A and B are shown apart, each in its own frame.
Chain A
Amino acid sequence: EVQLVESGGALVKPGGSLRLSCAASGFTFSGVWMNWVRQAPGKGLEWVGRIKSKIDGGTTDYAAPVEGRFTISRDDSENTLYMQMNSLKTEDTAVYYCTTDYHGMLNNWGQGTLVTVSS
């Protein structure tokens, strides 16, 4: 059974940093592209970014609002996805989900971790 467990969400001040983790199990993590998607309180879904598998280049893509501030990485030896979030803004407040990616379809989701950016 595929499991994705996010962690690292917290209350942080504007301008601060945070690192989210997503522990994966139940599938061959190294071969799968992974995404982060966020959902602000009471709002819809917003794609944040993606990392390809190393065999497909391991490259990353980001949504415009987070480009240059967020960095996605992966540790295939630990089956873990990361997202380093710097220069956080109040509008980054959201539940952050990690997902698997099959040709752009997000076919497995974690339960999410809440990031609150507030002074």
Chain B
Amino acid sequence: GQNIDQPTEMTATEGAIVQINCTYQTSGFNGLFWYQQHAGEAPTFLSYNVLDGLEEKGRFSSFLSRSKGYSYLLLKELQMKDSASYLCAVMDSNYQLIWGAGTKLIIKP
């Protein structure tokens, strides 16, 4: 079967750094996406990785290792507004998105 694993909840302090991990087992791979979803709102696109390595975009970076079936989202200089759920999704060989359950990130002052 196909599955995406990510922690259910994480807590971090304002100004700090947090890494949200995602491991996956899918039938084929056509890229991995990270989305941010604030409570009561729709997801917004953060990043897309299809090649191994680190993609940096401002305070957010996303890493991919295809051989390990592993990705992480790194958030630096955390702000209170970063409190949200972070969804990992993998596109399989049929170009279907397989969604993780999301990681709820709680930022404390």
Interaction A to B: no
Question: Interface of A with B (CB < 8 Å)?
Answer: none
Question: Interface of B with A (CB < 8 Å)?
Answer: none
